[in-house]
Amino acid sequence: MNELTDLYQEVILDHGKKPRNFGPLEGATASAEGLNPLCGDHLVLQVKVADGTVQEARFTGTGCAISRASASVMTGLVKGKTQAEVEAMFQVFHALVMEGPGAHPDLEALGKLAVFGGVHEFPTRVKCASLAWHTLRSALQGQPVASTE
């Protein structure tokens, strides 16, 4: 069960059950729809960007605990970040879920993202964890739809 409890850490279960920043965003400046065609998971991500900085990010939709927790944690982390900082954060996250915490020995830099350190043991769930990030990047790049395929 160890790998399972690495995947479903308390923080993930908590964010999965009670996602933060969940619901529509008033005055959004950009949005995108994320789809995981494999499982039918679906989320809509809305952001408010001003002066090149993400002021706020919220999401709606359906998904598993991993994808909801990922969207929940992400929408909290990107507040106040520039697009370049968001992109850098995504790269860290991507390396983490693909290769595990070993890929990024600097756990400090991972910050709250460290809770996704168990995902790499479950290759079929990487897309669940990544959906929110792909959708955010699409929104910031002005693309209406992101797909994990």
Site for other proteins (CB under 8 A): which residue of 11, 44, 64, 114?
Answer: 64
The minimum distance between CB 81 and other proteins, in angstroms, equals 28
Distance of alpha carbon 149 from alpha carbon 144, whole angstroms: 15
Q: Which is nearer to other proteins, 41 or 56 (CB)?
A: 41
* The dihedral formed by the CA atoms of 14, 89, 143 and 119, expressed in degrees to the nearest 10: -50
Of the residues 8, 20, 79, 81, which one makes contact with other proteins according to CB under 8 A: 8
- Looking at the DSSP assignment, which residues form a beta bridge with residue 146? 34
Q: Are 42 and 33 in contact (CB under 8 A)?
A: yes
Residue 27 CB, nearest approach to other proteins (Å): 28
CA distance 139 to 44: 10
Residue that is written with structure tokens 């008033």 in the block: 26
Candidates 42, 48, 79, 94: give the one binding other proteins (CB under 8 A).
42
Choose the stretch contacting other proteins; rule: CB under 8 A; options: 59-67, 70-78, 85-93, 133-141: 59-67
Round to whole Å and give the CA distance between 121 and 113. 16
Task: Write down the least CB distance from residue 140 to other proteins, Å.
Answer: 26
Q: Which residues bind other proteins (CB under 8 A)?
A: 1, 3-5, 7-8, 13, 16-17, 38-42, 62-66, 122, 124-125, 128
